[in-house]
Amino acid sequence: MPEPVADPALDELIHRADLDGLVRLIDAECTTGDWDRLLQLRNRARDAVDTGRQLWPAATLAEYRLALWAPAAWAAAVLDEDSGRFTIGPLTEVAAVHHTFADLAAHVPAGPRLGFIAHERALRGESISVADLEARGVPDVLDIPLSPQPWEPRYGLATYTNDGLTADPPPRPTLRSRAASGPTSPAVRSAPAAAAAAAAASVREPAAAAEPSPALAADRGGDVPRSQPFAEPPRDDSRSADPADGDERIVPAARPEPAPPTATNRHVEDRQRAADSSTSPATNRHVEDRQGTTGGMAAAHGGPAAVVDDDAVELATRQLLEAWTASSNGRAEVVCVEGTAAAAVAALGVREARLVPLEPAEALAWLAWAGACGGAHGRRRGAAIGRFGAWWMVAALGDALEDWPLSPDDVGDIAADLSWYWWDAGEPPLGWELQLAVEDSAEGYAWAISAHDAD
C-alpha cells in the first residue's frame, strides 16, 4: 500500500464529491499507468463515505480497474474482504483475466480468495498443481478439481473490459415444430437434433455484492455499466419415433381426470449404492398425490405422473439461480416426477412443449453459465462458482450429496447416466432463461427446471 501523499487536485474532487471528475481521473491514471495514485483515489473515495459523501461508485470503479489492468502488486491490494462489494463481478475472476496465479500468489495472502483465483485461472487454461496449493497453505474452497475433466464442456468465460463484461450463454439448439401424424390420438415425434444453433447474443451483468463461498448472496450496485441479456437452449434425449427430425413435438390432449389421492404419502426407495447392501436407505424424495398437475400434455405420454418432493434438487436449483431470484427479477421453479422428462415438463403446467436432446457436457455448460451469471440485474458470481453449482446439481440429481465430495469419475458417471433435454413451449427466447429437463430412466424419476429473468 502506498503511503498517503499530498494531492490537492484529488482532495478538491473528493471535497466537492465530483463523481464525473473522479471518473475522468480514473481513466487518466489507467492510461498513464499511475497505479499508486489510482489506489490512493480508491482509498480516499471509500473513506469519504464516512463524511456523507457518496463516492463509493468511484471507489468501486477504481477497484475494478486495478484488479483488471494494474500489475499484480496493485491488483492484490484490492483482493481483500472489504473490496469489490459492488463491482460487476467478483474481483477474483476479474484479476484472473490478465494475471497468472503465480503472480497474484506472490502478493495475495493464502486463503479463500487465492483459492478462487486458482479455480478461475485453471478454467482459463493455467496449469496449477494441488501440491502447489498445499505448499502455499491455500484451502480447497470448492471440493472439486481445479482443471476441467475430459467429460466436462469448455465452459464459457466472461470477458471484462473498461465498458463492462460480456458472458455469452451456450449455443441454443434448434427446435423445429412438426405436426403430429396418425389417424387418432395425438402423437409424439422426435429424432436427432439439428446440429446448427444460433450463436448466443451477448449477456452482460451489472453490480452487487458477493462473498467467496459456494453460495454467494448478491447485491446490486448502480455504478457500473450494465448491458443486455439473451438466452439459449441445449438438446434432448432419444425417444425418437422418426429419425427424420431433430426435436420432439408434444401435442396437447384432453386433461385427464385427477388421480384419486391415497391415504398417505409413501416413501420412495433410494437407489442402492452397493450391490452387497442388505438394506436400502430411505430417500428424501416423497411421492405426493397431487391432482391435475400434469395436464393434457402428460396424457399423450401415458397420463399424469406422480409428483415427488425432492428437497435436494430443489435446494440445488435455488442455490444455482440465487442471483436471478434474490438480486434480480427472475423466477425459477423445479419439479420432480415419477415418469419421463416430458411428464416432468407437463407437471410445471406446460400444456404443449418441444424437447431436444442434450449431451451431458452441453447441459453442464448451461448449468454453469446460469450459476455464474447474475441474470438481468444481479451481480455475476464467477465461472468457478458456476462450475461448482453444476457439479452440485449433478450430485443432487444422482441423490449422492451425502457422499460429497465425489470423485470426478463418479460425477461424470452420474451425468452420463442421465438423459438431458432443453425444452420450450414454442415461445421466442427472451432475456435470461434456463429450461432443462432431466430423466433417470433406470430409477424412473425425471425433473424439469424453468427459470427466467429479464430487465
Buried b (16+ CB within 10 A) or exposed e, 416-430: eebbbbbbbbeeebe
Q: How many CB atoms lie within 10 A of CB 329?
A: 16
Cα 347 to the center of its chain, rounded Å: 24
44 and 177 part of one domain: no
Q: Among all chains, which residue has been given the C-alpha cell 408434444?
A: 250
pLDDT at residue 437 tops 60: yes
295: left (phi over 0), alpha (psi -120 to 50) or beta: left
For residue 306, give the H/E element and its range.
Answer: strand 306-310
172 and 65 part of one domain: no
Q: Which of the four pLDDT bands, split at 50, 70 and 90, describes residue 236?
A: very low
Number of domains in the chain: 2
Q: pLDDT per residue over 10-43, tens digit each?
A: 999 999 999 999 999 999 999 999 999 999 999 9
The pLDDT, as a whole number, for residue 261 is: 37
Please check whether residue 105 lies inside any domain of the structure: no
- What's the start-to-end Cα distance of the chain, in Å? 40
Domain finish residue from 70, 100, 126: 70
Phi/psi at 68 (5° precision): -80, -45
Distance CA 333, CA 318 (A): 8
Q: Which residue type sits at 268?
A: V
pLDDT at residue 263 tops 70: no
User: Helix %, strand %, coil % for the chain, to 5?
Assistant: 35, 15, 50
pLDDT at residue 431 tops 70: yes
The pLDDT, as a whole number, for residue 428 is: 86
Q: Which of the four pLDDT bands, split at 50, 70 and 90, describes residue 301?
A: low
441 or 272, higher pLDDT: 441
Q: CB within 8 A of 419, min separation 6: which ones?
A: 237, 238, 341, 357, 438, 439, 440, 441
Please check whether residue 328 lies inside any domain of the structure: yes
Q: Look up residue 210 and give its three cell numbers.
A: 458477493
Within 310-427, residue ranges assigned H as helices are: 311-320, 322-326, 341-347, 360-372, 383-397, 408-417
Phi/psi at 325 (5° precision): -95, -30
Which of 227, 151, 181, 229 shows the shortest CA–CA distance to 417?
151
The pLDDT, as a whole number, for residue 361 is: 98
337 and 445 part of one domain: yes
The pLDDT, as a whole number, for residue 11 is: 95
58 and 178 part of one domain: no
Please check whether residue 127 lies inside any domain of the structure: no
The pLDDT, as a whole number, for residue 3 is: 65
Residues facing 434 on adjacent strands: 451
Please check whether residue 407 lies inside any domain of the structure: yes
Q: pLDDT per residue over 142-175, tens digit each?
A: 999 999 999 999 999 999 999 999 999 999 888 7
Residue 132 per-residue DSSP state? H
Domain finish residue from 70, 96, 123: 70
Please check whether residue 441 lies inside any domain of the structure: yes
For residue 109, give the H/E element and its range.
Answer: none
**Mean pLDDT computed over every residue of the chain:** 79
Q: pLDDT per residue over 328-355, tens digit each?
A: 999 999 999 999 999 999 999 999 999 9
Comparing 55-64, 127-136, 266-275, the range with the smallest average pLDDT is 266-275
pLDDT at residue 70 tops 50: yes
Q: Which of the four pLDDT bands, split at 50, 70 and 90, describes residue 285?
A: low
Give me the helix-helix angle, 360-372 and 383-397, nearest 10°.
Answer: 130
pLDDT at residue 282 tops 60: no
pLDDT at residue 116 tops 50: yes
Give me the helix-helix angle, 311-320 and 383-397, nearest 10°.
Answer: 170
How many residues are there in the chain? Answer: 455
Contact 118, 138 (CB under 8 A): yes
Comparing 35-44, 80-89, 246-255, the range with the smallest average pLDDT is 246-255
Which of 237, 253, 161 shows the shortest CA–CA distance to 446?
237
Q: Which residue type sits at 9?
A: A
The pLDDT, as a whole number, for residue 5 is: 78
Comparing 14-28, 74-88, 289-303, the range with the smallest average pLDDT is 289-303
The pLDDT, as a whole number, for residue 305 is: 85
172 and 319 part of one domain: yes
Q: Which of the four pLDDT bands, split at 50, 70 and 90, describes residue 453?
A: very high
> Residue 202 belongs to what domain range?
166-209+230-453
Q: What is the pTM of this model?
A: 0.76
The pLDDT, as a whole number, for residue 6 is: 84
pLDDT at residue 416 tops 70: yes
Please check whether residue 109 lies inside any domain of the structure: no
The pLDDT, as a whole number, for residue 175 is: 74
Q: Which of the four pLDDT bands, split at 50, 70 and 90, describes residue 54?
A: very high
For residue 134, give the H/E element and its range.
Answer: helix 130-136
175 and 29 part of one domain: no
Contact 188, 300 (CB under 8 A): yes
Distance CA 139, CA 129 (A): 13
Domain finish residue from 47, 70, 93: 70
174 and 55 part of one domain: no
Residues facing 439 on adjacent strands: 419, 446
Please check whether residue 23 lies inside any domain of the structure: yes
The pLDDT, as a whole number, for residue 424 is: 94
Distance CA 255, CA 339 (A): 17
The pLDDT, as a whole number, for residue 337 is: 98
242 or 142, higher pLDDT: 142
- Per-residue pLDDT, averaged over 102-116, amounts to 96
pLDDT at residue 112 tops 80: yes
Please check whether residue 426 lies inside any domain of the structure: yes
440 and 310 part of one domain: yes
Distance CA 25, CA 16 (A): 14
Distance CA 1, CA 77 (A): 7
Q: Which of the four pLDDT bands, split at 50, 70 and 90, describes residue 377?
A: very high
Phi/psi at 243 (5° precision): -75, 20
Q: pLDDT per residue over 382-415, tens digit each?
A: 999 999 999 999 999 999 999 999 999 999 999 9
Distance CA 94, CA 113 (A): 12
Q: Which of the four pLDDT bands, split at 50, 70 and 90, describes residue 266?
A: very low
